[in-house]
Amino acid sequence: MKAKKFKEFVAHHNASRHLALYERNGNGIFLWLARAEYRKHGVETPEALEREFDLMGARLLEAKKATDVSQALGLENIHRRVEQSAQRDIAEEVAAARRAGNNPVAAEKLAAASFRRTPGAVKTLWRDWRKKTPKEPTSDLPDWPPRG
């Protein structure tokens, strides 16, 4: 019994990393990696994850062009998503530095040094990020791993 619980824990833990990356940048490959973790450990795939695959399948059936296929699998605009992820990381670095008590200029300089950007570029990115970031989380996927 304990071995089964441990396998479930490991599967949820490993899959949660992939699901966090999926939620962060929308790359469908992370859904496949999460599902592979559950299968590798012999644990049933959560219903929310299976629903995502059902949606992918439905979109694939409607795909007419190669771009439709990549869009159905969540693989379109990967370059744009990677850049957005980098922008989010920089914004989070500025926010963490400000929470740590640094003034705005110092926080921007710290983030600029960490990410090899100019302080002016970081300042612009930080300002734009604050404008477009929602105040509440918008994800409809449940917490991973499930609690209980």
pLDDT for 134: 61
Instruction: Give mean pLDDT in consecutive 10-residue pieces for the chain, a chain of 148 residues.
Output: 79 87 81 91 90 89 84 71 75 88 90 89 86 59 48
CA 52 to CA 73: how far, in whole Å?
Answer: 10
Q: What is the pTM of this model?
A: 0.50
Per the CB < 8 A criterion, the answer to whether 18 and 34 are in contact is yes
Domain boundaries, the chain: 2-72, 78-132
pLDDT at 137: 47
Is the distance from CB of 97 to CB of 107 less than 8 angstroms? yes
The contacts of residue 18 (CB under 8 Å, 6+ apart) are 30, 31, 33, 34, 37
pLDDT value, residue 76? 66
